[in-house]
Structure 1
Amino acid sequence: MLAPVPARRRRPALSCGQWNEAACGFEARGSHKENGMFDRSVRRKAWTMLCLAGLALSGGACSAQHKRPTTKAAATDAGADAFAGDWGFSTRCYKGHYVGITLTRDGDGYTGTWSDGTDIWGSDGSFRGAQKDGKLEVDACTTTEQRGGYARCPAYTPNTAYFVRSGERLVWYRREGEMVDEYLTLDRQPANQVPVTDSEEVCDE
């Protein structure tokens, strides 16, 4: 008559700091308990593959445990300056549109970089400018060839745009001759983070 199988005790959930040790050290701790059904070398290869897979996934798993910085936290990190910091806009509608701007206070003026693209094309470049009457007036250049667009860096097209604050947001106005166009409204975002699209966004296409 076979002895009853003892109930398996549930192991506590592992933290990110424990994951690598658990994934890669399990074979060393537990292999002596195996009953010899599989060859040791086969087990070692299997655990090695599991370890590598666990390490590849651990980065995403660990990062998911940390909360993303909020808009308020990003604004605090930028200090009291109304324009300096990282700003972003994104939408998955209309073939996507993704914009990132970084503005830095440089003495009495500002310098910065920009990127602007869709799922099909994209361009980037630099800003330079100064604050005047509550607006940040900027010149712009691009690192890519543009027909009828901004000058190629390091040359700048003057008076191409200006930025104004609207509450916690930054509004980008573009100039084309005598015309002024409200282009985009951007939100503060953590440094070097790609703008995240809203998964619940409804597109009128």
Structure 2
Amino acid sequence: MGPPGIKVPLALIHRLRRGGRGGGRGNNESNKTEGGSSSDKKAEGGSSHKKSEGSDRGGATTNKVEMDSLLGLLRIRIKRGVNLAVRDARSSDPYVIVKMGKQKLRTHVLKRDVNPEWNEDLTLYVTDPSLPIKLTVYDHDTFSKDDKMGHAEIEIKHLLEALKMNGNGVGNEETVAARVQPKRSNCLASESCVVWKDGKVTQDMCLRLKNVESGEVEIQIQWINLPAASKP
């Protein structure tokens, strides 16, 4: 069962059994390639005419997830961007895409803002925790290809290690299970703490974007157990 205080919607479990989709505005790799022009890539450009979730160009449903290989869900809250790069005349129209394996989720577009506040939850299903999780920021353009505004990788190994504590010796008070320092092998801009509180384990991160002149993205990740799921 999930940690106390976390209710996993039955509808989400049923969707995972049928089609294996995570939550959020995006869908799996069946979406058209991110960074394409608006005419080629309506789903990525914020158009109201984007394809329905879970369908590809041939109308096939997404690959099914075997429930016996499902470890749990990873909820990623995209909080805000800080000092993002300017890609238009004076500002940018940023949105975020998160990819893990064949899953691809995205936030909405915020117009003319290099310090956007999305506060949007994206939920991935996890069958293999070793798969990289890539976060990429794009600038939405109406008549041309969407510009990249940097990328970063999200590491969940410290979160999973804290889960092995299973909350032993942890009450309702906030308890820091691990402190992760920024270094070359990660994308952290500052210290990141894994925290147990009220039966939940979360990790706040400030990610420094790569391959761009400036920009950081603040996120929070949280693991959600599912009934009958394998342990990570």
TM interval, shorter chain, is under 0.3
Q: Greater RCO between the two (CA within 8 Å, min separation 6)?
A: 2
Q: Flag the structure with higher helix content.
A: 1
TM-score, length of structure 1 as denominator length = 0.27
